[in-house]
Structure 1
């Protein structure tokens, strides 16, 4: 089973992990790391490396980041410079509850990056429009 890192600016990752526990209990091999205002990028990179080591069972790690090209994402990219890391670590940006929850539920069976992204995209809906369509 692949490990999971939730990485964000501010406490989004911690909040998402807290919410995941409502639906999925206490998921294994998952950590949240948060970049707070004033945090040093080098220290955050070290925190990310440590978290990856903590959750990696030997099958790899999926890192969910909040924002493409934000510091959490860029630190993930910096880790790719280590030999073999790009084959062991999958980084997906734009994390949301549907994608991470679906991944937790199916990670023992494996789930492709495109399936994870599709799940996240399908969770974005104009509810007003959907409600009106269902009322007709």
Structure 2
């Protein structure tokens, strides 16, 4: 089984997990790590490592912002701990978390990352553009 760790500013990771569990039920292989205003890169890295040490499973770290502290801390661990099986992606959104939850048990981690990256472009929609597109199809 692949572990999924959500890491984000404030309580976003915890609330993202809670929202996904409203749809999927308990996601026991998901965890959430809060990056508070009192944390820095080092203390956040320690939180992530503590969570990673709870199991020896391959892990997908999903962070909120590319190059934000949660992303940088996750990438730092990935580089410092090459024996750990870790993938890091940014751009956390509820559609992304749901996509991962739907396939993480049956799909290899490298495929999950590729599918999520491809699906990300489909999750942002403009109402006006969609209405015009729908009208043109009829």
TM-score range, shorter chain: 0.7 to 0.9
Alignment: residue pair count: 132
Structure 1 segments of 4+ aligned residues over 4 angstroms from their partners: none
Quote the Cα distance in structure 2 between the aligned partners of 1:107 and 1:18.
17
Residue number in structure 1 paired with 2:116? 116
Residue number in structure 2 paired with 1:13? 13
- 1:127 offset after TM fit, Å? 2.3
Quote the Cα distance in structure 2 between the aligned partners of 1:116 and 1:90.
12
Task: Kindly indicate whether the alpha-carbon contact (under 8 Å) linking 1:95 and 1:120 is maintained by their aligned counterparts in 2.
Answer: no
Instruction: Establish whether residue 84 from structure 1 lines up as the match of residue 83 from structure 2.
Output: yes
Residue number in structure 2 paired with 1:26? 26
TM-score (norm 1): 0.87
Task: Identify unmatched segments of 5+ residues in structure 2.
Answer: none
Quote the Cα distance in structure 1 between the aligned partners of 2:8 and 2:121.
19
RMSD of aligned Cα (Å)? 1.6
TM-score (norm 2): 0.86
Quote the Cα distance in structure 2 between the aligned partners of 1:31 and 1:103.
13
